[in-house]
A and B are shown apart, each in its own frame.
Chain A
């Protein structure tokens, strides 16, 4: 068994996996060609944490991300892969690092590995985003106001029902003329744009990634996209 360099016991809320599996995932992150530009070394100054909006609200530290990767602390890395990465807003405020590290970029790489490997914790986290992904992939746009339904957005808290019930009033309050009153446009997208979009999803392997984390969603998207592309041809 390889010598581990984790101190103390992790209080993880997910099942542990063999050390060799953690090492494999760790290597996959480090082998990314972007890695060497994202991490030099960390002297633990904490400037990334002070700049990080997520760190103010969650048990999340970009310093720990950089530090863990630099120290090759494989056990802590797995905790990060299973949990921490989803607390990052990917705003990249942390890139003001005096060592020119990019903790947010490291999170990007770890997320990609987590998704590519269909990690159970990643599937669980992304479950709540199914409708967002659905909308983005099929319409090329974010969630539209008319999609606000309490059932689909439990993480928005108890206010969702109130938002939905008073959508007209809320929209009136938006101080941008072009958005005022729009509740049901649902972001209509031109056929040509859709076809280009779907072609991109296929060609870049994006759909394969969706398949790893959510097979049901994948089937759903595949049906719509294939039909649209067939019509086109």
Chain B
């Protein structure tokens, strides 16, 4: 049983989940991926473990990829990019470019799953001396070290005694232009803090934050265990600057709940960089003519404002972090919903 084609752009967690679901619902799926392999940002950025039960990221995303790409109704086009779209819901003609040349795919509905990118802490200002001090890294850099079981100070290859995470780097900041909360970094930093303590039990780990936003089960699965079992120190107050002190790093800020200024030495500082719409999300939004919000994410909500996968263009849906900062729960939920809407569009184009 096949009732037409859903074209999905991006083969990260959102695109893979949407592909699997749409295929299971009976559609043909064409999954277009710019990179030479599926897996998206968790794969590209070497994620070590997921917040869900600390599952190995390669394994969990690998299972998802296998489920999606092995389905007989899913066709994967890697090294491929969408370059044009014409038509309307129920009858899109999508131009696709790859090394071999260009081709056109007929699709009844489109799902955009082009995701996010990590905020670059050197993009506008030299935020926290990220590009000057090798011992200032990001949570994305930390994932690679955790994955390799090599948590060290890049400057000398030695394990750090004192590690600081700084939250909200590139998020909740009017000056930067990203006023939104990136939603996942509190959980990621807490997860990484636990992993650092597991790999380096004698280290001291601090998290400097504005608010800890540990939604739902992250409270009992990450936040409390980090404090209670792993003795991670949470300090409310952001770091204003990082200075070199001998061969270590001196961080300055305010310990707000203790009501005093702080000046502490660290060996490794991890910037909890937030999410931004990926270049692919911005480009695809342009090509597809989708409305973007002021931050560059694809505007979701549709005419009712409450539909999380509707875009400004009927028949085109958005899943995952292309629309908003999203954790994996959000991503799978919106991917499944987008798949359902897309398949419904194939069956009743006028309802789109």
Question: Interface of A with B (CB < 8 Å)?
Answer: 3, 5, 7-8, 40-44, 63-64, 67, 70-72, 76, 99
A27 to chain B, nearest CB (A): 14
Residue contact A44 to B228, C-beta cutoff 8 Å: no
Within the complex, the shortest CB–CB distance from A164 to chain B, in Å, comes to 42
CB distance from B213 to the nearest CB of A (A): 12
* Interfacial residues of chain B within 205-258, with CB under 8 A of chain A in the complex: 212, 223-224, 227-228, 231, 233-236, 255, 257-258
B interface majority secondary structure: strand
A99 CA / B227 CA spacing, docked (Å):
11
Known: A67-B257, A72-B231. A7 touches B224 (CB 8 A): no
The reply to whether B212 and A7 form a contact with Cβ atoms under 8 Å apart is: no
Q: Would you call A41 and B263 a contact (CB within 8 A)?
A: no
Q: How far is the CA of A192 from the CA of B204 in the complex (A)?
A: 57
Alpha-carbon distance between A71 and B227 when the two chains are bound, in angstroms: 9
| B side interface size, CB within 8 A | 22
Q: Are A7 and B162 in contact (CB under 8 A)?
A: no
- A69 smallest CB distance to B (angstroms): 11
Residues of chain B lying within 8 A (CB to CB) of residue A41: 224, 227-228
Minimum Cβ distance to chain B for residue A113 (Å): 20
- B157 contacts A by Cβ under 8 Å: no
A41 to B224, CA, bound (A): 7
Can you list 27 A-B pairs with a CB-CB distance of less than 8 A?
Answer: A3-B161, A3-B162, A3-B204, A5-B233, A7-B258, A7-B261, A7-B262, A7-B263, A7-B264, A8-B261, A8-B262, A40-B227, A41-B224, A42-B227, A43-B212, A43-B223, A63-B257, A64-B258, A67-B257, A67-B258, A70-B227, A70-B231, A70-B233, A72-B231, A72-B233, A76-B258, A99-B224
Judge whether B260 is part of the interface by a CB distance below 8 angstroms. Answer: yes
Q: Which residues of A contact B152 (CB under 8 A)?
A: none
Interfacial chain B residues near A64, Cβ < 8 Å:
258
Q: Once the chains are docked, how many angstroms separate the CA of A122 from the CA of B224?
A: 34
Residues of chain B contacted by A40 (CB below 8 angstroms): 224, 227-228
CA distance A76 to B235 in the complex (A): 15
Interface majority SS (helix, strand, loop, mixed), chain A: loop
Known: A7-B258, A67-B257. 14 other contacts (CB 8 A): A3-B161, A5-B204, A5-B233, A7-B263, A7-B264, A8-B261, A40-B227, A41-B224, A42-B227, A44-B236, A70-B231, A72-B231, A76-B258, A99-B224
Cβ of B50 < 8 Å from any Cβ of A?
A: no
Tell me, in angstroms, the Cα distance from A7 to B251 when the chains sit together. Answer: 11
B265 on interface, CB distance cutoff 8 Å: yes
Closest chain B residue, CB of each to CB of A46: B257
A7: chain B residues within 8 A (beta carbon): 255, 258, 260-264
* A64 closest partner in B (C-beta): B258
**Bound Cα distance A42, B227 (Å):** 8
Question: Taking the nearest CB of chain A, how far is it from the CB of B14, in angstroms?
Answer: 32
Complexed CA–CA distance, A175 and B315 (Å): 82
